[in-house]
Structure 1
Amino acid sequence: MLTGALSLGYANIALFYKKNDNLYADNLMHIGSGKKVNSPQDNIPDYFYAKKINSENRGYSHIRQELGEASILMQVASEAGETVFNALDRMRVLVKMYYDPNSDSDEQNAIKAEFDSLKGQVDFTVANAAYDGRKLIEDNGSGALDSVNIDPYDINVKYDISFTGDDVADVSTLTLGSGNKEDDSNAVQAELNKAGSYLAKVSAYSQGLRSQSNIISKKMTVNSSVEERLVETDTGAEIAKAVDRDIRSQSSLAMMAQANVMRGSIMRLFGM
């Protein structure tokens, strides 16, 4: 009976040692990997919620990259728009100078030459301003110059960038020297207004893209913080647990060794 009790005690100590040793190994794995949740076995709800958050952040990262590309596109569009606007603004001034009573014929010829040169510059910029194969200054009709998905769960939620005919300057009919100052001036002003509308839209789109990017960055930061709390290891706590379980393992080994000695002594005592 005594040896049976010792055997049962030994078995219980061995079971405790095995369980504690497994927990000790888990602590070492958590410390080594930096994660307390490595698989569903560690914590099913936290594991799958962390996976969902991680997947969402990958989607947001892709969206932020596309927003960055769209922002670069708007920077190029802004430069082209400013070129057109500045040229038309100068053309507006030239109309006034041309019809100034103090301007002689030589001055008028020089003014008209500059006017025509600026007209060619605007024509060239409108026709050739492009980014990644997309023409920047044109009426997009019912389509969009660019369209960025801003929701990783719904591809239909998009940030669209588009322009209309009211935003695209057309200098093909502009003339200087028609003899009617008001007509020439009004015609230039109408195209200048279009160029201004284009620049205003570019600025608004750029601000919108920055706002969307900031919102997504904040969302990703929150997600990362939540994911970290779910799966990241508290190194100090894990080390404390590991030390405690190591001590318990060593104690269990000592107790099993002592139980073996006692069982051997009893068996020798009874001649078993």
Structure 2
Amino acid sequence: MLSLHTNAASLSSQTAVGRTQQALNTSLTRLGTGYRVNSSQDDAAGLQISSRLLAQTRGMAVAQKNTQNGISMLQTADGGLDELGNILLRMKDLATEAFTASTTSADKVALQSEYDALGKELSNIIKNTSFGGKQLFSDGTTTDGTNGLFSSGLTFQIGATSGETMVVNTSTNLTALATALSGVAGTYATPATPGTELVSGATNAMIDTIASTLDKVGALRAELGASANRLDHVYNNLSNMSLNTTNARGRIMDVDYAQEASNSTQQQLILQAGTSSLKQANSLSQLVLSLLQ
């Protein structure tokens, strides 16, 4: 039917052109941003899943940094204990040399002088070994192994959720070591007072005391090393989970450029055809005028 008031062909063409234009705009937006989902309207369920995956990957990235910082802190403590062990070995050498018949009283006084200096350094390590401005073994004033980071359980956040934590508690071994060190050298707890461990009247039992203390150093270092190794495995596992979670989010959010470029070309051709059809549909009203001539 020819009508001046209603052009059904034109209306249909306008609707088709509008839909094609909307599809083309969506395609061009995806090509411009690189994302398949740019608003909840594009994929409501996909956007929700993607947001959850993003929160998880970001949490795991921070947890990875936590594990690396934790390993660094444990290695700092282990380094301090390593030097403490070296000092104890030297003190054991001095004690072994002191308690032999060929060592004179004057020799023992000289050996005691070095022994005292080493005892002061033991105290310095326990007091001042720190990480990030926080003492690890003590509070900086005492030598009994209290009020430092390792004086109580340490909780590491190793995942994206509240339940993913790791507790390292070295307080028992640290207290045992601090107590043993106080029996090795008088200058450990009271640096201003010279010791008497190697001079006249002392016995060679100090050799065994130092050996026992070295065992306690080893026990604490073993605990720190085991915890550092576990954190290393935690980091590797987080890397694996983060990689796969990121890939999963990419499959939801990222645009397939090959497919989207094809879609864009198709929509452009359809839009051109629709525009041409609309132009022809709008010219149909001219046929009515020709009937009236």
Amino acid corresponding to residue 211 of structure 2 in structure 1: Q
Contact 2:154/2:167 (<8 A) preserved: yes
Question: What residue in structure 2 maps to residue 161 of structure 1?
Answer: 168
Q: Is 1:97 matched with 2:120? A: no
Determine the C-alpha separation between the residues in 2 that align with 1:34 and 1:14. 30
Question: What residue in structure 2 maps to residue 199 of structure 1?
Answer: 221
Deviations 1:185-237 (A, max 9, x none): 11111111111112212212221222212211221111111000001011121
CA drift at 1:145: 5.0
Determine the C-alpha separation between the residues in 2 that align with 1:144 and 1:11. 78
Question: What residue in structure 2 maps to residue 221 of structure 1?
Answer: 243
Amino acid corresponding to residue 194 of structure 1 in structure 2: K
Contact 1:34/1:232 (<8 A) preserved: yes
Contact 2:151/2:170 (<8 A) preserved: no
Could you list the runs of 4 or more consecutive aligned residues of structure 1 that deviate by over 4 angstroms after TM superposition?
139-143
SS at match of 2:292: coil
| Correspondence 1:97-176 to 2 at 5 A | 97-137=97-137, 138=145, 144-153=152-161, 155-167=162-174, 168-169=177-178, 170-174=180-184, 175-176=197-198
Contact 1:136/1:145 (<8 A) preserved: no
- Identify the match of residue 180 of structure 1 among 177, 186, 203: 203
Q: Say which is worse superposed, 214-223 or 224-233, in terms of deviation.
A: 214-223
Amino acid corresponding to residue 26 of structure 2 in structure 1: D
Deviations 1:63-98 (A, max 9, x none): 223223322222321221112111112212222222
Question: What residue in structure 2 maps to residue 266 of structure 1?
Answer: 287
Amino acid corresponding to residue 159 of structure 1 in structure 2: M
Determine the C-alpha separation between the residues in 1 that align with 2:172 and 2:208. 18
Contact 2:151/2:171 (<8 A) preserved: no
Determine the C-alpha separation between the residues in 2 that align with 1:40 and 1:19. 19
Contact 2:74/2:228 (<8 A) preserved: yes
Question: What residue in structure 2 maps to residue 43 of structure 1?
Answer: 43
Q: Which runs of 5+ in 1 are unaligned?
A: none
Determine the C-alpha separation between the residues in 2 that align with 1:157 and 1:227. 22
Q: Give the TM-score of the pair, scaled to structure 2.
A: 0.82
Question: What residue in structure 2 maps to residue 25 of structure 1?
Answer: 25
Amino acid corresponding to residue 95 of structure 1 in structure 2: A
Amino acid corresponding to residue 57 of structure 1 in structure 2: T
Amino acid corresponding to residue 268 of structure 2 in structure 1: D
RMSD, aligned α-carbons: 2.4
Amino acid corresponding to residue 197 of structure 1 in structure 2: A
SS at match of 1:270: helix
Q: Using a 3 Å threshold, how does the CA distance of structure 1 residues 139 and 163 change in structure 2: closer, same or farther? A: farther
Deviations 1:159-196 (A, max 9, x none): 12221343334423222345432x11111111111111
Q: Is 1:239 matched with 2:261? A: yes
Determine the C-alpha separation between the residues in 2 that align with 1:29 and 1:23. 10
Q: Which runs of 5+ in 2 are unaligned?
A: 138-144, 185-196
Q: Say which is worse superposed, 79-88 or 98-107, in terms of deviation.
A: 98-107
Aligned residues: 268
SS at match of 1:267: helix
Q: Give the TM-score of the pair, scaled to structure 1.
A: 0.88
